[in-house]
Every structure is written in structure tokens, then in C-alpha cells.
């Protein structure tokens, strides 16, 4: 149970590849933080840097205020007092379950009887009380994962690091372990850092999520913040599957390059109604700027092609053709070919068919001006 402070942390690999750069992150005591990003975004690199398997090439890392890595300081992984769960469990095949779980305490020199007691206690906690004498080869995937978890928490680590810890498991089991993991970390008040590429998992489990791309943090925020106020188009498209439309921002009004996209106009204000403008507000009278509108699949309604249109400025716009409709838990995940742009829409209430012609109506969009000038992820 501790805080983690990362200041300007960077890692450049020997081959010159930049793994991380300028990572600013404060993880609070008892917080569950998810590191989310596509593959190659640096989330695992960041976790391994915290663990101590990688040495940062710049910046510093402190656990509970004590510097672990930084100018002239280096604490090897075995002295950091952390617990870690690896993607493919990393259960030692030559030790039985109790041997695996008790290993950290054995190294710490805990007396035998006390060690056995604590092993039993932790195995109880993860639901493996009867498995102490089993060999790892006799365990199922989920049981191995629980052994790995028990081993990671037995020595009351300052923080629990989870590296794609649930990715190797099948879906129903994964969902169950997700809940157990959350309950366990709450109960123990553990600070946890969880690397995942699964958006639903990150949003569902974490108190806060840090979205990474190309070794840089794009945004840190609660799941709701990421969905409602993404700071840039990458976060919007990665987290909520938004379709991006480039365009121009003139006097606070967004004009898409795409012939069909019209963001509804508000009457009272200069702004588009239902549009969140993100970025520096324009000084009045300044020239137009390039911008990007992100349209989430849930912000689009589809009208049948023949239905009357009440909004004047939509008349004459191009129709969209349904190219695929996949049935999902929340509705049909539908892809449209809309005058060359591929628009993703979540359809509920009716069944879209391939080849259907529809007219998309965009209710809401996030507009990001000049990506370079967009607000950087706020490190809390």
C-alpha cells in the first residue's frame, strides 16, 4: 500500500527505439490504475519500468516517496517490495502450489510455521485452499492465475503490478476473475497497476485509466471522463471507437470536409449544439483552423432513406450504405459506407441489413482543434 510517483520518466531502447517518454503519473494509495493502449504503445514497458526490469533512461520513479530509479539511484526489482502477476502466470513448474505461493516469504526469511499459516490464509483468499500440495501442471488456467495472484500478494507488497494478467484466460472465467481481482484489491487496500489492451476491462475495473500511445500518456482520468471528455481524437477513437472526420473550424462552427456530416447548429450560441469543442477557444475574428470531429457509435441515429427529413440543412446529403452489421450485446455494431468514409454506429431497436440505404444523423461529436495544440493528458 503505497503511492507511486513517476516524473518525466523515459525509456529509450538500445536500438534507439523510444519506449517511453515524459511519463508523468501519480498513483494514489489504494488506487486501481489501468494502463490502456494498443500494442506497442508502451504500457508494458511502463509496467516493467515500475517493476524494475527496465531501467529508465530519464526521469525518476519513487515508491512511497523513496526514489527507486533516477539520477544515480537504482533499486533492483527484488528490493522494491512489489508483487507482480505475469501474462502467462510464470508459475514455477518445479515447485508445488504452496512452494510457489510461499516463495517470497521464504526469501524474506519468515519462520516455517508462520509461513505455512500465511500461505494457507492467502490460498483461502483466492479459493485454492485444497490445492496447496498440487503440482502446477495439474492446475487449470484460472487456478494458475490465482496461484500467481496469491504469490504476488502474500508478502503484502507496496503495489500490485498486473501485466495483461487476465488476457490468457477464456471469456467467462476472465469476467469472474476480474470481479475477484477487484474485490481482493479493495479488501486489501492494494495499490494496483493493471496493464491491458481490453478497453472494457480497463473501464470496468479501474478507478482511473491512463491511455498510452507511442510511449506517451494521452490522458489520465476516470472511465467516465475518458468517455465523456476525451482530450484528443486518439483517445476518442481508441476508447469509444469513434469515427474521425477532418474539417475546418470557423468562428466556433465545425465544417466537415465530408459532404454528409452536419453537426446540429445551436440557435443561441455560436457553438454547434451537442458539440464539445476541445482545445484552445478561438479568439474572435481569427482565421479558420483545421480540426477533427470524433463521432462515437452511440451518437448517431440512422433514418431510413425514404423518410421525410425535418432538418433543412440535411436535405441532399449523401446516403450511407450498410456494409456490415454484427449482432452484439448492446445492439448491432454496424459499419456504414458513407460517401467514402467508414462510419461505425451502434444500432438498437431494429435490424440493419447489408445493402440497406440509410441517412445518418449525428447527435453529438467531440471536436478537437489542431491536435498538436490539444490539451495534454492531465496527470492527477
Binding site for another protein (CB under 8 A): 51-53, 76-84, 86-90, 92-94, 103-104, 107-108, 137, 148, 151-152, 155, 161
Taking phi over 0 as left and psi of -120 to 50 as alpha, with beta for the rest, 173 belongs to: alpha
Of the pair 152, 166, the CB lying nearest another protein is at 152
Q: In the complex, what is the shortest distance from the CB of residue 77 to another protein, in angstroms, rounded to a whole number?
A: 4
Between 148 and 322, whose beta carbon lies closer to another protein?
148
Using DSSP, state whether 160 is helix, strand or coil: strand
DSSP assignment of 89-108: ----TTS-HHHHHHHHHHHT
Which CB sits closer to another protein, 100 or 275? Answer: 100
Q: How far is the CB of 103 from another protein (least distance, A)?
A: 5
Query: What is the Cα gyration radius of the chain?
Result: 25
Contact present, 166 and 177 (Cβ < 8 Å): yes
Name the minimum Å distance from CB 74 to another protein: 11
Nearest approach, Cβ of residue 96 and another protein (Å): 12
Q: Of the two residues 59 and 102, which places its CB atom closer to another protein in the complex?
A: 102
Question: Least distance (Å) from another protein to the CB of residue 298?
Answer: 39
Tell me how many degrees the CA angle 110-114-119 measures, rounded to the nearest 5: 95
Provide the terminal-to-terminal Cα distance of the chain, rounded to the nearest Å: 18
Nearer to another protein, 110 or 242 (CB): 110
Minimum CB separation of residue 37 from another protein in Å reads: 20
Long-range contacts of 94-97 (CB under 8 A, 24+ apart): 95/136, 96/132, 96/133, 96/134, 96/135, 96/136, 97/123, 97/128, 97/131, 97/132, 97/133, 97/134, 97/135, 97/136, 97/139, 97/147
Question: How many Å apart are CA 222 and CA 243, to the nearest integer?
Answer: 22
Q: Residue 52 or 230: which CB sits closer to another protein?
A: 52
Residue 71 C-beta: closest distance to another protein, Å: 20
Can you tell me the distance from the alpha carbon of 213 to that of 209, in angstroms, rounded to the nearest whole number?
13
Q: Which is nearer to another protein, 88 or 333 (CB)?
A: 88
Phi, psi values for residue 280, rounded to 5°: -65, 130
Amino acid at each position: 500500500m503505497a503511492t507511486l510517483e513517476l516524473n518525466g520518466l523515459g525509456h529509450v531502447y538500445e536500438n534507439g527505439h523510444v519506449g517511453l517518454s515524459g511519463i508523468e503519473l501519480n498513483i494514489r494509495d489504494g488506487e486501481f490504475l489501468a494502463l490502456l493502449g494498443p500494442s506497442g504503445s508502451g504500457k508494458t514497458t511502463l509496467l516493467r519500468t515500475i517493476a524494475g526490469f527496465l531501467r529508465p533512461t530519464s526521469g525518476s520513479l519513487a515508491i512511497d516517496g523513496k526514489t527507486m530509479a533516477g539520477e544515480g539511484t537504482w533499486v533492483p526489482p527484488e528490493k522494491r517490495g512489489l508483487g507482480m502477476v505475469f501474462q502467462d502466470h510464470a508459475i514455477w513448474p518445479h515447485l508445488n502450489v504452496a512452494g510457489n505461493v510461499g516463495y517470497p516469504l521464504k526469501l524474506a526469511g519468515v519462520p516455517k510455521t508462520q509461513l505455512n499459516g500465511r500461505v494457507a490464509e492467502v490460498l483461502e483468499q483466492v479459493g485454492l485452499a485444497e490445492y496447496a500440495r498440487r503440482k502446477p501442471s495439474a492446475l487449470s488456467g484460472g487456478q494458475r492465475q490465482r496461484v500467481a495472484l496469491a504469490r504476488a500478494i502474500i508478502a503484502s507488497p507496496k503495489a500490485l503490478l498486473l501485466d495483461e494478467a487476465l488476457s490468457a484466460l477464456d471469456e467467462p472465467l476472465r469476467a469472474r476473475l476480474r470481479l475477484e481481482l477487484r474485490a481482493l484489491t479493495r479488501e486489501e487496500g492494494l495499490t494496483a497497476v493493471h496493464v491491458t489492451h481490453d478497453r472494457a476491462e480497463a473501464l470496468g475495473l479501474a478507478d482511473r485509466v491512463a491511455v498510452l500511445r507511442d510511449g506517451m500518456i494521452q490522458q489520465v482520468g476516470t472511465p467516465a471522463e475518458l468517455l465523456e471528455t476525451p482530450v484528443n481524437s486518439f483517445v476518442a477513437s481508441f476508447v469509444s471507437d469513434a469515427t474521425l472526420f477532418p474539417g475546418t473550424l470557423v468562428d466556433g462552427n465545425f465544417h466537415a470536409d465530408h459532404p454528409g456530416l452536419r453537426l446540429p447548429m445551436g440557435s443561441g450560441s455560436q457553438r454547434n449544439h451537442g458539440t464539445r469543442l476541445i482545445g484552445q477557444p478561438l479568439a474572435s475574428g481569427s482565421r479558420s483552423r483545421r480540426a477533427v470531429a470524433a463521432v462515437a457509435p452511440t451518437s448517431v441515429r440512422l433514418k431510413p432513406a425514404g423518410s421525410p427529413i425535418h432538418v433543412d440543412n440535411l436535405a441532399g446529403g449523401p446516403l450511407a450504405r450498410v456494409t456490415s452489421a454484427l449482432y452484439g450485446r448492446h445492439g448491432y455494431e454496424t459499419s456504414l459506407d458513407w460517401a467514402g468514409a467508414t462510419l461505425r454506429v451502434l444500432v438498437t431497436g431494429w435490424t440493419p441489413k447489408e445493402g440497406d440505404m440509410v441517412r445518418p444523423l449525428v447527435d453529438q461529436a467531440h471536436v478537437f482543434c489542431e491536435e498538436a495544440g490539444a490539451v495534454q493528458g492531465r496527470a492527477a
